Structure 1
Amino acid sequence: MTVVEVDGVIAAVSEKLGRAITLVRPLAGGQHATTLVVADSTAEYVVRVFPTLDDAVVHEPPILDRVAALGERVPRLVATGQFGESPFIVTSVVPGGPPSPDVPLRRVAEQMAAVLAQIHELDSVGLRTLSWETPKGVSAIETRGRGAWQQLDRADRVLTHYDFWCGNALWEGDVLTGVVDWSGARSAPRGLDVSWCRLDLVLLGSIDAADHFLAEYERESGHSLPDIQAWDLVAAARSASRVETWAPNYLGVGYSDLTESALRARMDDWTARLCVS
């Protein structure tokens, strides 16, 4: 986003809130939205500006009401609005920042598992449902993923975050303090979030941490996932062909070692393991 566009967003948010807003800093991370920290005379807020026609401003506000039971670990809706043809959401600031690469990945796994178990206890009635499609392509992992998808029981649904990875979690030291970016949340099987977080931990460099996350999630939630290998296959099949494009996301949250080549190597190793197991 250019300086002129940022100035336009600040003006639009100021008009929406009825008070002067100033830019504090941009936030790096995901590629879905441009994220800014702004402030008025008393508080800071987060502004996320989405692409034209993006439906996040329709779907996220009611989700934030549902997850409010998580307290200060989730943002509070302040306003929604429009900058030109780009919708935006204004929320409160959740304490914390990106996870430090120095935090042991088993600790990351434990913290992520504990909060995910709590998320999955929340009400999912009436939410949008699973929209993942059968994996396409002819590679070994995509072929195996298609078969796994057909075998999965997708009837047991919970409130899923739908993009549950370390970059959507906030941290203070080795303690998880928040979960953000709820625009994709919907009613779906718990295996979707669990396999996505496991894949993230694998890409961060630790299959052991991914297994520890699964064990901790099952302990915290009281639910076993006997079909986790099928979910792992589907998650990998949906992302193997594009994993290099995630390098900017990991760089934005401090993992500068996760280059395109590193992500490709770790994904290839993971898919090879899945395809022979």
Structure 2
Amino acid sequence: MIELPNRALEWVVDSVCPGAKVTSVSRLLGGTSSLIHSITLQTGQEEADYVLRLINNEEWLQEEPDAAWHEAESLLFASDSGLPAPQLVACDQSGEACGMPAVLMTKISGSVVLRPENPDRWLGGLADTLTRIHAVPADGFAWQYAAYIDLETLEAPEWSGLSSEWTRAIAYARDRRPAAKTCFIHRDYHPANVLWTGGSVSGVVDWINGCRGPAGIDVGQCRSDLAQLYDVATADAFLSAYEAAAGKTFAYDPYWDLVALIDTLFGPPAVFSGWKALGVTGLTDGMMAERVDAYMLSLLKRI
């Protein structure tokens, strides 16, 4: 059993059922911005599994002190809308009870699949699930999409040998923002946040950035991840699958792909630590740089 602070475990028990017995605690793989644990509680003769997020990233909390409340509201909104999301159990926004801001939720069965036996079916499941999220109106949701990077001050990345191409891509993202219908978006939709059971999607996790915004930014986020995890062809196949699932409700614009990609330019591309934790081997930081450049060039051909 991986130990958590006693106060956090006591809060979990009190939030679910005072007197329940903690039978197991395990750290979940893939989390990179907070501590995420699976906790099993026994109440009488029944056991149930829960997920506890403890937000221990001080820099993040300085920028978003309401991060725990944000996820709690996203979970409520998603579950109330019939989406395959965990159910909110409790939220410790200030961290007074747990020692750090915390969100307690139900645990969805299933596992992350990053090396699918049937890639086409897998991409179709990712696309279909995302269209379900985007079908939810979000006019009344408090949080709104914003880019992570300041495009006004961003320059071509030094790690790439394609300075002129990146300059063109950044200029396009800075100057060409189109009008776009808003809907509920996950804001961090990628394969490591989607769970599968028996070849079908069982749930979507990590709703801490959920907000109202353009569907294209979610599509672009997933495409960017797929281009790095696999290649441009896989990213393009996902776009085709999403367009087929969304039909006339979605009008593709490469702008959102570019912005989603540029949102990751905090430094030289590196293998996502979550992929490593989930068993993906053979990737290198050099491969990520090559794939990011190749994906960016593919997007320039679309504008």
User: When the two structures are superposed, what TM-score results if normalisation uses the length of structure 2?
Assistant: 0.80
User: Does 2:102 correspond to 1:77?
Assistant: no
Count of residue pairs the alignment pairs up: 274
Shift of 1:213: 1.6
The unaligned stretches of length 5 or more in structure 1 are none
Counterpart code for 1:172: T
2:50 to 45, 51, 58: 45
Counterpart code for 2:87: R
Call closer, same or farther: CA 1:206–1:263 in 2, change over 3 Å. same
In 2, the alpha carbon distance for the partners of 1:142 and 1:90 equals 43
Q: Describe the superposition over 1:19-69 as per-residue Cα deviations: whole angstroms up to 9, x where unpaired.
A: 333433110113112110001112111111112544232112222222225
Residue of structure 2 in register with 1:32 after alignment: 33
User: Does 2:268 correspond to 1:257?
Assistant: no
Residue of structure 1 in register with 2:155 after alignment: 137
Task: Determine helix, strand or coil for the equivalent of 1:176.
Answer: strand
Q: 1:179-198 alignment to 2 at 5 Å?
A: 179-198=204-223
Q: Describe the superposition over 1:188-217 as per-residue Cα deviations: whole angstroms up to 9, x where unpaired.
A: 111100111111111121322222221221
8 A contact 1:168–1:181 mirrored in 2? yes
In 2, the alpha carbon distance for the partners of 1:238 and 1:72 equals 26
User: Does 2:78 correspond to 1:63?
Assistant: no
Task: Determine helix, strand or coil for the equivalent of 2:111.
Answer: coil
Call closer, same or farther: CA 1:104–1:241 in 2, change over 3 Å. farther
Counterpart code for 1:38: I
Call closer, same or farther: CA 1:142–1:232 in 2, change over 3 Å. farther
In 2, the alpha carbon distance for the partners of 1:209 and 1:69 equals 32
Call closer, same or farther: CA 1:69–1:103 in 2, change over 3 Å. farther
Task: Determine helix, strand or coil for the equivalent of 1:66.
Answer: helix
In 2, the alpha carbon distance for the partners of 1:72 and 1:191 equals 19
2:252 to 226, 231, 245: 226
Q: Greater helix percent: which structure? A: 1
The unaligned stretches of length 5 or more in structure 2 are 158-164
In 2, the alpha carbon distance for the partners of 1:69 and 1:110 equals 24
8 A contact 1:31–1:249 mirrored in 2? yes
Shift of 1:6: 4.8
User: When the two structures are superposed, what TM-score results if normalisation uses the length of structure 1?
Assistant: 0.87
1:271 to 283, 290, 296: 296
Counterpart code for 1:186: C
Higher relative contact order (CA 8 A, sep 6+): 1
1:175 to 200, 214, 217: 200
User: Does 2:227 correspond to 1:202?
Assistant: yes
User: Does 2:172 correspond to 1:147?
Assistant: yes
Shift of 1:268: 2.3
